[in-house]
Amino acid sequence: MPAALLTVNLGAIVANWRALDALSAKTVETGAVIKADAYGLGVAPVGRALQKAGAKTFFVALAAEGATLRQAIGPAARIFVFSGYMRGDEAAYRDFNLTPLLNNADQVTRFLADRQGAACGLQLDTGMNRLGMEAAELASIIAQIPALNPVLIMSHLACADEPEHPQNAAQLTAFKDLTATLPDIPRSLSATGGILLRADYHMNLTRPGIGLYGGDPFIGAQPVVTLSLPVIQTRPVSVGESVGYGATWIATRPSVIATVAGGYADGLIRAMGPNASLYARDVACPIVGRVSMDLITVDVTDLARVQAALDILNATQTVDSLAQAAGTIGYEILTSLGNRYERVYKD
């Protein structure tokens, strides 16, 4: 039986990067966030496609991710690591020329002891209370800034996907205040949501992530992923018969049910069952019964012919609409996509 087929449109990722790049001034550099294996889609092919399109600066979460990316794209690009200079990662920073975004005074001290003269950045907390230095901790290391000579100073917006949220303006003000004494260091505040806000959020460098992969809040993004699940079996089901665990779905008409290869072991979240469909081209075929570990059952009664595979992700049912069906967000759908799929990349 053929494996489920995950098709990644690299051309769409590049088009989304270019569209986000066009939203800021030519003096603003547009980087790319490709952490978590490029949001589950493959850091090597995605990184190479974006580099070829013109991206020169990349962001990952962990030093190990940075090492993998460096081996894929070569020595020219900058690779920033959000988690900073973590203990145990010293060799990765040295061997793969990675740039830590230092998050606290301890990281600053250890970086200066180990790597003074190498590139680094600083991460500030402006209200998200997750990573980065607040005002007092930044003041405690201010005398070390000349020795650090950071190439970037950044913070992260907590509510950028809600344009009218007052915390956006509060964080913008806080970031400007914190960096006022560091006027010559390039600044970065905006991921995808921040790019879609006003130009004063763009600073010197933007860091699009989810928008590259076709996700909200970038309305108008090109869809990137198609996921086709092979049909293993079809069967007639009579009125009154149930399908799947717990007998949660009972046929109210003579039905044809297709069982497809895919389930929550493949990142297709169990909770999506009652609210999602699979598609035969543009015809919706509702999921019936519970999503199980390896199998999903689908009502194909209204199809004139059952195809060899049905799509669970396509231009009609995007990562965000599937996420809504599962009560989650598109990020989780993308990063949960399993390793049992055959992956195909197209330009």
Domains recognised in the chain with CATH numbers: 10-213 (3.20.20.10), 225-346 (2.40.37.10)
Among 122, 155, 114, 116, which Cα is nearest to 141's?
122
Among 37, 50, 9, 14, which Cα is nearest to 336's?
37
Percent of the chain with pLDDT over 70: 99
124: number of Cβ within 10 Å: 25
| Assigned token pair, 218 | 């970038």
Catalytic annotation on 85? no
76: number of Cβ within 10 Å: 7
| The predicted structure's pLDDT at residue 152 | 98
| The predicted structure's pLDDT at residue 3 | 82
pLDDT digit string, tens, across residues 139-169: 999 999 999 999 999 999 999 999 999 999 9
| The predicted structure's pLDDT at residue 338 | 85
Options 93, 245, 345, 346, the catalytic residue: 245
| The predicted structure's pLDDT at residue 271 | 93
Name the pLDDT band for 274 (thresholds 50, 70, 90): confident
| Interval 313-340 mean pLDDT | 94
| Assigned token pair, 192 | 């995808």
Options 26, 35, 56, 176, the catalytic residue: 35
Specify whether the CB–CB gap between 33 and 209 falls below 8 A: yes
| The predicted structure's pLDDT at residue 183 | 85
- pTM confidence score: 0.95
| Mean pLDDT estimate for the chain | 96
pLDDT digit string, tens, across residues 217-227: 988 899 999 99
Flag whether pLDDT at 119 surpasses 70: yes
Percent of the chain with pLDDT over 90: 95
pLDDT digit string, tens, across residues 158-201: 999 999 999 999 999 999 999 998 989 999 999 999 999 999 99
Flag whether pLDDT at 337 surpasses 70: yes
| Interval 31-36 mean pLDDT | 97
Name the pLDDT band for 236 (thresholds 50, 70, 90): very high
Flag whether pLDDT at 269 surpasses 90: yes
| The predicted structure's pLDDT at residue 243 | 96
Spell out the long-range contacts of 149-152 with Cβ–Cβ below 8 A and sequence spacing 24 or more. Answer: 149/120, 150/102, 150/120, 150/121, 150/122, 150/185, 151/78, 151/99, 151/119, 151/120, 151/121, 151/185, 151/186, 152/80, 152/99, 152/101, 152/121, 152/122, 152/185, 152/186, 152/187, 152/188, 152/205
Specify whether the CB–CB gap between 175 and 124 falls below 8 A: yes
| The predicted structure's pLDDT at residue 1 | 61
Catalytic annotation on 279? no
| The predicted structure's pLDDT at residue 54 | 97
| Interval 226-245 mean pLDDT | 97
Straight-line distance from the first to the last Cα atom of the chain, in angstroms, rounded to the nearest whole number:
27
| The predicted structure's pLDDT at residue 71 | 98
pLDDT digit string, tens, across residues 65-99: 999 999 999 999 999 999 999 999 999 999 999 99
| Interval 212-220 mean pLDDT | 91
